[in-house]
Amino acid sequence: MSNQPTHNLAKLIALDIITVGRIPLMVFLMIFATAMGVVFATHHTREAINEKDLALQERERLDNEWRNLLLEENALSEHSRVQAMAKQELDMTRPDADKEVVVSLK
């Protein structure tokens, strides 16, 4: 084993920063603040991208649901279906020609 003393690197750096002066300390703090700003900006950007992707998925789901509802509406409003339901469920029939009344608006 060697008789050389071991040095604590963190302690030496801190002593260097303190003893050299305020300028290295200020530069160190500015570098640290900038690095933290980059980290926070990256984090917020990733969150925004994730929210955008979720919104696009929701829009696609709603578009699909809207298309299905339009198809269902068209199917339920077909003339033949309405006429069949009127005959079966409501016992409705077409009036005879002599019982029809035409109303005209002037």
| Ranges of each domain in the chain | 9-89
The per-residue pLDDT for range 8-51, each reduced to its tens digit, is 888 887 787 777 777 877 888 899 999 999 999 999 999 999 99
pLDDT at 41 (0 to 100): 98
More confident residue, 94 or 62: 62
Q: Residue 71 phi/psi, 5° resolution?
A: -60, -45
The per-residue pLDDT for range 64-105, each reduced to its tens digit, is 999 999 999 888 778 787 788 888 888 888 888 888 888 888
**CA–CA gap between residue 75 and residue 67 (Å, rounded):** 12
pLDDT at 30 (0 to 100): 94
Cβ proximity of 77 and 85 under 8 Å: no
Is pLDDT at 1 greater than 70 in this prediction?
no
**CA–CA gap between residue 20 and residue 8 (Å, rounded):** 18
**CA–CA gap between residue 62 and residue 88 (Å, rounded):** 35
